[in-house]
Structure 1
Amino acid sequence: MKTARAVRVGTTGANSRFVSGTSNTRSSVAASNILQQFTQSPPPPRKSLAAPLAKLPFSSVLRSLLVLSVSSSPILLKPCIYTLSHLAHPRSAFWDVSKNPLLNFLVKHTIYKQFNAGENKVEVQDSIRNIKQLGCRGVLLGYAREVLVGENQDAARDEKAAMAEIQMWFDGTMRTVDMAQQGDFVALKFTGMGTDALRLLQKEADPTEFMDSSILKVCDLAISRGVRLLVDAEEQAVQPGYLRSTPATLARHLETARQEGYTLGVKLVRGAYMKTEPRHLIWAKKEDTDRCYDEVVEALLTRKYNSMLQAPTKDTPAELPSLDVIIATHNRDSVRKAHAIRMEQAVRGEDYDVDLSYAQLQGMADEVSCELLEGFENAENSVGASPVAAPNVFKLLTWGSVQECMGFLLRRAIENTEAVGRTKDSQVAMFAELKRRCRNAFARSN
């Protein structure tokens, strides 16, 4: 499980650092007005449906069922990973999707379209519009370019090549901010700056001057467009301080936020790199991970320390400082528990002031996202819903050329080897939705 100290656009005092530390006063004042609009804008209207997945287009149901059938099968998943590995690191023109038009077409209209938003502004904004038409509050949009630990790190590098990698990240990230809409998030993936950035991240060293100036320009554009920023959660090797250490790390961040007087943004993510992370950093059992995640969520939503998220010192105030939370998980039970806490707060009429959002990846756990949009009204053991506490649901979208997204798609497949059970649940949900639609069509024809 990971936690990221999310970037928040706002003003908290004359000496505060905004986003990545810009001192642009005009931008900071604009950010304050934008944040006020975020909190005042009402959630999108929701329509009551007999089945949550009825929201999805028929083509999405069929494509999801195909991809999930492969992902939930240990037999089919292995050759799929083998193929994606060749596509991500092509050694011939045949395996290069940027040079093989037929292969590009097949990949783009299957697995790419399932998990990615598009290759250009028109395609990406179409995807964003479709997501919001489902009832989602917004998207978390990220540029696909990335460099994984161990990838080309031993290759000789010159300054010109390093600058070109940073420039490519900068151009792609600026386009990402430009494509996002007011109130959306843009996820900054710093490994996308290339192998030099990867080395600095592993050493926990400061960015180069060119890297820093590029980040500041991205932040200023985001402020001017009303787009919120957060740092994308990546591997432990480049973002130390999560998994089993999450509660202690988060407690330190909370106390820093209290002392410096800013609202902490927390994006809480379950661990996804089981195949590559050092085993001693990971909880021994899945049940331990579930307990840690759920109890940390409870502490954040109630703004009270508990046995899992403990105060860093005995003198720390019992109440947590101001914070916003994104629960980024595909685990249905954890989402339901968090939603139940918020519903109970609404029923009791509590003046809860934690801005809560939920987020799932595009093409994954759609049944969880759609049930949230329905407030779990139609799910068994429902806790009920309240217009006051209508959940803010976001989808995480990644964009880029088919070739740029191959590394992202390979990671999705590798992660699914550790989550076949959850993927199977999604497959069952999609199959049930397909049967429901077929029954309805047959009934209408008679």
Structure 2
Amino acid sequence: MEISPRKRLNFENTEIAFRNKSNADLNSAYYLYKVISSNFLVKVGPPVTNFFLTIGLPLKSIIKATIFKQFCGGETIAECENTIKQLALGKVGTILDYSVEGEEEEAVFDFTSEEIIRTINRAEGDSRIPITVFKITGIGRFALLQKLDAKEALTEAEFAEFAKVRQRCKKICQVAFDKNVPIMIDAEESWIQHTIDELALDMMRLFNREKLLVYNTYQMYRHDKLADMKADHLIARETGFILGVKMVRGAYMEKERKRAEEMDYPSPIQLDKKATDLDYNNSLVYCVENMEQLGFVSGTHNEESCKVLAQLLDDHQIPHNHPHVYFAQLLGMSDNLSFNLSDSAYNVAKYVPYGPVKAVLPYLFRRAQENTSIAGQTSRELNLIEKEKARRKH
């Protein structure tokens, strides 16, 4: 594998970032981010929208044409085909993410499990879909996972219920193994995460002996997760499997802090953003220095972390397209990172959530809230769109 020639990364290059976006697409994204920049609308949006949908007002078509179109690929795998094609034009891969959540019934968990398997089947043999993903809460009851994390005694029925969760998880990973399609297990709230971590390690022990297949996710806004990742790497070395790591900053910070305060236990969250950034970038250093025994996906919208990883790969003379390292961002966000990285021959993929509009609403509202809570994210997106619109006029 040849070392890619050093090409200076420029995340301000909007021509590359928005190459596949029409003027209409740019205008649509611009007005959507203008709306998102209103904290008031983002806060009142979820309850008002759910109320209107409940009483039968025809909001679905409006949502589908606006916020859903920006952040989701479609309602079905088939509807995601155009997004897969558009991303591939910019040499960016697709991570199909069935984003239905908050369900409670066994029949729904069985259906979700089969839908995740359908994403694996769709990805088989298609280099445009290099990785797949799922959440354990998509295939098992949140309250059950919480009880396991709290080490509370399970009833006989609950033991049987968790055996089914494990069975679904194993079946998904087995299909991924058979089809040679890597799969990531997403991180969730801290009070169910230990159970998820144990399941992920069990799957790696089973399926990561010959190849990198299963990844666990480490949220670096938790002060214990860099240490956990290093401990898991030690287990992997001693047990003889390849560790799959996806590192993110995290998605549940406000909820985590609030719960810790209400229940009077030490918050698992870092003291400040600086500490999170430090652990995140240190995790990149650790992974690059141990790439013969692990593979990783750097899930980040942070420009500095992208530069750190790009520099680390060059410093260690690791090819930009080495199969053990990926950059990842969410669809509809940070195109300036995704497409400029792919233009410099790095492996890049976008999370492409899909599912019925109403079922995906919790995900969409989190994205809107995330854009207002990440310092400068919305204004950054708006500035880049404005810059590209001005460039096209000249």
1:329 and 2:300 are equivalent in the alignment:
yes
Secondary structure at the aligned position of 1:363 is classed as: coil
- 1:125 — aligned with what? 81
Pair 1:362–1:261, CA change in 2 (3 A): same
State the TM-score, normalized to the length of structure 2: 0.78
- 1:82 — aligned with what? 44
Q: Residue 200 of structure 1 is aligned with which of 145, 160, 172?
A: 145
- 2:277 — aligned with what? 290
- 1:379 — aligned with what? none
Pair 1:198–1:125, CA change in 2 (3 A): farther
Calculate the aligned-residue CA RMSD, in Å: 2.9
Secondary structure at the aligned position of 2:25 is classed as: helix
Cα distance in 2 for partners of 1:352, 1:141 equals 21
Are the aligned partners of 1:258 and 1:321 in contact in 2 as well (CA < 8 Å)? no
1:167 and 2:167 are equivalent in the alignment:
no
Larger Rg: 1
State the TM-score, normalized to the length of structure 1: 0.69
Cα distance in 1 for partners of 2:115, 2:231 equals 33
- 1:220 — aligned with what? 174
- 1:246 — aligned with what? 225
Secondary structure at the aligned position of 1:266 is classed as: strand
Pair 1:396–1:352, CA change in 2 (3 A): closer
Aligned length, in residue pairs: 340
Offset, 1:395: 0.4
Are the aligned partners of 1:324 and 1:356 in contact in 2 as well (CA < 8 Å)? yes
Offset, 1:85: 3.4
Flag structure 2 segments of 5+ consecutive residues without an equivalent. Answer: 5-9, 152-158, 195-217, 261-266
Offset, 1:147: 1.9
Instruction: State percent identity of aligned pairs.
Output: 26
Q: Residue 347 of structure 2 is aligned with which of 392, 396, 399?
A: 392
1:345 and 2:316 are equivalent in the alignment:
yes
Offset, 1:352: 11
- 1:368 — aligned with what? 337
Pair 1:181–1:106, CA change in 2 (3 A): farther
Pair 1:353–1:407, CA change in 2 (3 A): closer
Cα distance in 1 for partners of 2:61, 2:322 equals 47
Q: Where do residues 23-422 of structure 1 align in structure 2 (5 Å cutoff)? A: 51-58=15-22, 59-71=24-36, 73=37, 76-87=38-49, 90-91=50-51, 94-96=52-54, 99-100=56-57, 102-136=58-92, 138-147=93-102, 162-182=105-125, 183=127, 184-193=130-139, 196-201=141-146, 203-204=148-149, 208-240=162-194, 242=219, 243-278=222-257, 280-303=267-290, 322-346=293-317, 355-375=324-344, 390-422=345-377
- Could you give the per-residue CA deviations for residues 370-411 of structure 1, whole angstroms, max 9, x where no partner exists? 221232xxxxxxxxxxxxxx2100101111010111011111
AA matched with 1:108: K
AA matched with 2:236: A
Are the aligned partners of 1:146 and 1:191 in contact in 2 as well (CA < 8 Å)? yes
Pair 1:321–1:121, CA change in 2 (3 A): closer
Cα distance in 2 for partners of 1:344, 1:125 equals 37
User: Which stretch shows the higher mean deviation, 352-361 or 183-192?
Assistant: 352-361
Cα distance in 1 for partners of 2:321, 2:180 equals 25
Cα distance in 1 for partners of 2:122, 2:292 equals 33
- Could you give the per-residue CA deviations for residues 36-86 of structure 1, whole angstroms, max 9, x where no partner exists? xxx99x9xxxxx988322423124322322222233x2xx13223312333
Secondary structure at the aligned position of 1:276 is classed as: helix
Flag structure 1 segments of 5+ consecutive residues without an equivalent. Answer: 1-38, 43-47, 149-160, 304-319, 376-389, 440-446
Bigger helix share: 2
Are the aligned partners of 1:84 and 1:410 in contact in 2 as well (CA < 8 Å)? yes
AA matched with 1:79: L
Secondary structure at the aligned position of 2:192 is classed as: coil
Secondary structure at the aligned position of 2:73 is classed as: coil
Secondary structure at the aligned position of 1:55 is classed as: coil
- Could you give the per-residue CA deviations for residues 104-147 of structure 1, whole angstroms, max 9, x where no partner exists? 111001100111111123211222122112111x2222111112
Secondary structure at the aligned position of 2:246 is classed as: strand
Pair 1:432–1:165, CA change in 2 (3 A): same
Are the aligned partners of 1:96 and 1:403 in contact in 2 as well (CA < 8 Å)? no
- 1:26 — aligned with what? none
Pair 1:81–1:50, CA change in 2 (3 A): closer
Secondary structure at the aligned position of 2:117 is classed as: helix
Cα distance in 2 for partners of 1:352, 1:366 equals 19
- Could you give the per-residue CA deviations for residues 295-329 of structure 1, whole angstroms, max 9, x where no partner exists? 221121123xxxxxxxxxxxxxxxx7601011100
